[in-house]
């Protein structure tokens, strides 16, 4: 059945093939290019302050070229005000609290599947579509929509979509969720899309490829403090706890330490009260291993926690691209839960998301508050 579908065209190959597939299926397709960040609003900005990292204009040109080839309309919509209120403000609060947030998750929940969805519905859309590697399945037994992993396990993006709800999923299509990335590239080349060989973006959604510490320096004051090893000795000086994350190996500025072997150093703990960064040597140091985590601000796709608790095992991720780890869930009614893992997990990081799976089905997740 033909529907009016509004597609988020990012300028990348995944959303381009998404639009083409829907057009080929006979749908009335309209493209929207979302601008979610205004570089001109950054503190100390000048006319050339994007330093070559702002690609929004280039992406829009690519999206327009794709729309022309496919033969669909393209609208440019600025959601930057919504982004700053709903995503960036929370991003800064988390970093200032010493945690490491994942803004891409909130961007999906608050912008791409809320602000964008609302805008699309005002345009008369029956569905929206994006180029995410995930799938939506209607479970006729429970009469609920399920979020499934993308078939290409190496590209699956369900982790970033785990905060979507029933209303959002009921209006969403993920056409390339059934495909592998190689197939998406092949289709793009065969139909002559101008961005068929464009590289995938890897930066945080609003920061892009620019140096992260330089960007964060514009918004968070630098407060230097001691770096201590697991014996309590001060061995170096950090540039501000906000700039480091658990498990970090690069950029610590630690040279040779007398009496210690020439092994890599890793960030293991952050003590906000004393402004101390604790580091250890060795990837498998006990301080980097956790069997239990606590999470809050839980969001469940079905609207409630899974019914099976206690000894029932689920798969869980504490970061993107991590293999599912077997864990038991203890959830309560206060949007909080605990995961107990069968095997220790490495560098479980407060501020990141713990996401739960039942095989291919993404159940939801929450923000990691602490681990032990």
Catalytic residues: 107, 205
The predicted-structure confidence for 299-329, as pLDDT tens digits, reads as follows: 999 999 998 766 679 999 999 999 999 999 9
Structural domain that includes position 194: 4-213
Helix H segments across the chain?
13-24, 56-70, 80-83, 89-96, 103-107, 116-122, 166-170, 181-190, 212-217
Is 171 found in the same domain as 140?
yes
Is 205 found in the same domain as 182?
yes
- What integer is the mean pLDDT of 130-153? 97
- What integer is the mean pLDDT of 16-38? 96
- What integer is the mean pLDDT of 206-225? 79
Q: What is the pLDDT of residue 212?
A: 74
Q: What is the 8-class DSSP label of residue 113?
A: I
Number of domains in the chain: 3
Residue at a domain's end among 237, 262, 283:
283
CATH number where 272 lies: 2.30.30.280
Is 295 found in the same domain as 272?
no
DSSP class per residue in 127-189: EEE---SEEEEEETTTTEEEEEE-SSTTT--GGGGTT--HHHHHTEE-GGGGS-HHHHHHHHH
Is 259 found in the same domain as 293?
no
On whether the CB atoms of residues 103 and 204 are closer than 8 A, the answer is yes
Both tokens of residue 328? Answer: 């038991």
The predicted-structure confidence for 173-194, as pLDDT tens digits, reads as follows: 999 999 999 999 999 999 999 9
CATH number where 45 lies: 3.40.50.620
Residue at a domain's end among 283, 306, 335:
283
Is 199 found in the same domain as 71?
yes
Is 176 found in the same domain as 92?
yes
Is 158 found in the same domain as 170?
yes
Is 122 found in the same domain as 64?
yes
Q: Which residues contact 190 (CB under 8 A, 6 or more apart)?
A: none
Name the pLDDT band for 12 (thresholds 50, 70, 90): very high
CATH number where 333 lies: 2.40.30.10
Is 309 found in the same domain as 199?
no
Is 132 found in the same domain as 271?
no
Is 271 found in the same domain as 141?
no
pTM of the model: 0.91
Give the Cα separation of 335 and 305 in Å (integer).
9
Is 81 found in the same domain as 124?
yes
């Amino acid at each position: 059945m033909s529907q009016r579908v509004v597609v988020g065209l990012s300028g990348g190959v995944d959303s381009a093939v998404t639009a083409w597939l829907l057009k080929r299926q006979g749908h009335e397709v309209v493209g929207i290019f979302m601008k979610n960040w205004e570089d001109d609003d950054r503190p100390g900005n000048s006319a050339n302050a994007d330093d070559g990292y702002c690609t929004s204009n280039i992406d829009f040109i690519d999206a327009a070229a794709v729309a022309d080839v496919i033969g669909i309309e393209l609208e440019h919509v600025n959601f930057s005000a919504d982004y700053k209120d709903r995503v960036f403000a929370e991003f800064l609060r988390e970093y200032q609290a010493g945690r490491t947030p994942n803004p891409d998750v909130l961007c999906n929940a608050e912008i791409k599947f809320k602000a964008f969805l609302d805008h699309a519905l005002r345009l008369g859309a029956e569905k929206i579509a994006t180029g995410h590697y995930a799938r939506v399945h209607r479970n006729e037994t429970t009469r609920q929509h399920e979020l499934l992993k993308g078939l290409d396990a190496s590209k699956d993006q369900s982790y970033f979509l785990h905060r979507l709800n029933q209303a959002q999923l009921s209006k969403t299509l993920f056409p390339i969720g059934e495909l592998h990335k190689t197939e998406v590239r092949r289709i793009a080349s065969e139909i002559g899309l101008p961005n068929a060989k464009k590289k995938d973006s890897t930066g945080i959604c609003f920061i892009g490829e620019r140096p992260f510490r330089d960007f964060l320096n514009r918004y968070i004051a630098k407060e230097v403090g001691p770096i201590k090893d697991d014996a309590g000795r001060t061995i170096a000086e950090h540039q501000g706890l906000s700039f480091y994350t658990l498990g970090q190996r690069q950029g610590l500025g630690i040279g040779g330490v007398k009496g210690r072997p020439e092994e890599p150093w890793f960030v293991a703990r952050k003590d906000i009260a004393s402004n101390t960064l604790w580091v250890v040597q060795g990837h498998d140091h006990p301080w980097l291993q956790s069997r239990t985590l606590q999470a809050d601000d839980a969001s469940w796709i079905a609207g409630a926690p899974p019914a099976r608790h206690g000894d029932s095992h689920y798969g869980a991720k504490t970061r993107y691209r991590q293999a599912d780890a077997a864990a038991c869930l203890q959830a309560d009614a206060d949007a909080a839960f605990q995961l107990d893992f069968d095997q220790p997990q490495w560098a479980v990081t407060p501020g990141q998301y713990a996401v739960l799976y039942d095989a291919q089905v993404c159940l939801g997740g929450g923000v990691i508050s602490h681990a032990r």
